[in-house]
Amino acid sequence: MSAHMIEQFQLLQRDLQSKKLKDFRRRLPLGDLFTDRWQNARDCGFGEGTSCYDSAVILGDVRVGKHTWIGPNVVLDGIEAPLVLGDYCAISAGAQIYTHDTVRWCVTLGKSRKREGASTTLGNGVYVGPNSVVARGVTIGDCAVIGALSFVNKNIPAGKKAWGCPAKVVGDVER
């Protein structure tokens, strides 16, 4: 790539960044300046009105309902089994949701090549706080709230608030 092309690209990036700052008071990574979050979601086959930042990593069989927000730097990993997110969910920045792990492979020093997997499901209206991790095989019921920095390794019933490491139910969601 020539120096002139790089310079033109940098000018375009600065122009897009300036417009985003002016219009929305946001500074975004390069990919999110060039893509449309709603088109990203449509390209993945997600439900109507869902948006997905370009910086999100989506692997395997991931199914997402309508009007769900997938934030920046999210990992949705449906490699071993389906990962299903309902309608009107919010998956906050840096959250990671898995359907498998490689623990057995690690602790057997590679002797076991088996990845352990199980479907992971989030109901409708689930909020997952920033930098939380949802482990394989977990089901989170409708209208549940997962607090920031939580590790969810057990099912969370509908309408409950849970947080911590590991996440524990701490009360009911006020609606």
Residues 6 or more apart from 146 whose CB is under 8 A from it?
126, 127, 128, 129, 132, 134, 140, 152, 156, 162, 163, 167
pLDDT at 116: 85
pLDDT at 34: 87
Q: How many angstroms from the chain centroid is the CA of residue 20?
A: 22
The band of 5, judged by pLDDT with boundaries at 50, 70 and 90, is very high
pLDDT at 106: 87
CB 151 within 8 A of CB 167: yes
Give the start-to-end residue ranges of the domains of the chain: 1-34, 37-163
The answer, as to whether pTM is greater than 0.95, is no
- For the chain, percent of residues with pLDDT exceeding 90: 81
Closest by CA position to 136, among listed 151, 149, 156, 120: 120
pLDDT at 125: 98
- Phi and psi at 52, nearest 5°, equal -145, 115
32-48 residue pLDDT tens: 888 999 999 999 999 99
| Superfamily per CATH, domain 37-163 | Hexapeptide repeat proteins (2.160.10.10)
pLDDT at 27: 87
The band of 103, judged by pLDDT with boundaries at 50, 70 and 90, is confident
3-state secondary structure of 140: strand
pLDDT at 147: 98
